[in-house]
Amino acid sequence: MVIDGASVMVKLGKISGLIHQLCHSHGLHRAVVAVKYKENINNIIHSISDNENIINSDLISDESESNSEI
């Protein structure tokens, strides 16, 4: 039996009494996807933070200009 490394499959292999082999390709793929997904999330969070800083900076600048006109 070849299993993909999911916990339920590992447990099945252990309790079945059959000889089983973890598929390292599936495990490696899952690790790569997890890292890539985390990088994408971090990039999105960084972009949102940058945009918020730009918006806040623009608002402060607009308020300063409004106060100086008074």
Total tally of structural domains belonging to the chain: 1
39-61 mean pLDDT = 79
Residue 27's domain comprises 2-63
Lookup result for tokens 């971090």:
42
68, part of any domain: no
8, part of any domain: yes
42, part of any domain: yes
58, part of any domain: yes
52, part of any domain: yes
SS3 for 3?
strand
Model pTM?
Answer: 0.38
7, part of any domain: yes
Which pLDDT score, from 0 to 100, does residue 30 have? 80
13-33 mean pLDDT = 81
